[in-house]
Amino acid sequence: MTKRVLVVEDQEDLRGVLRDLLSGSGYTVIEAADGQDGVTKANLILMDIQLPEVDGLTATRHLKADPATRDIPVVAVTSYAMKGDEARAMEAGCSGYVTKPIDKTLFLDTVAKILAEKQAR
């Protein structure tokens, strides 16, 4: 199975960093600047929390409420690193939480772990 990861990030430069990290590790990357674009094609979604129009946690709640997308794991990628933010992301339906700036090893380990868990189900 081709491992496709949707990166939802409004900052083009950070989308590029995530794209380069993921594609360099063998993933196919789908990019979107908002929470509406390309969702059903992904095996995993990397969701920025601070998005224009609809924030990432609201977008995640919508994805988890829709039978067509509820089984796609979502990883919050955020500069929010305050106490309780990770718990709020998990409560919204995220399967993982990675803070910016991106720690390359932690980021790739998180993606691999969540995709492996999905495949094992």
Distances in Å between the alpha carbon of 28 and those of 5, 16, 99, 109?
A: 6, 13, 22, 16
The confidence score (pLDDT) of residue 53 equals 85
| Chosen CATH of 4-120 out of 3.40.720.10, 3.40.50.2300, 3.40.50.300, 3.10.400.10 | 3.40.50.2300
pLDDT in tens, the chain (121 residues): 678 898 888 889 999 999 999 999 999 998 887 766 666 668 899 999 988 888 999 999 999 999 989 999 999 999 877 888 999 999 999 999 999 999 999 999 999 999 999 989 8
Q: Which of 62, 103, 63 is nearest to 81 (CA)?
A: 103
pLDDT of residue 117: 93
Q: What is the pLDDT of residue 113?
A: 96
Q: What pLDDT does residue 83 have?
A: 87
| Element at 17 (helix H, strand E) | helix 12-24
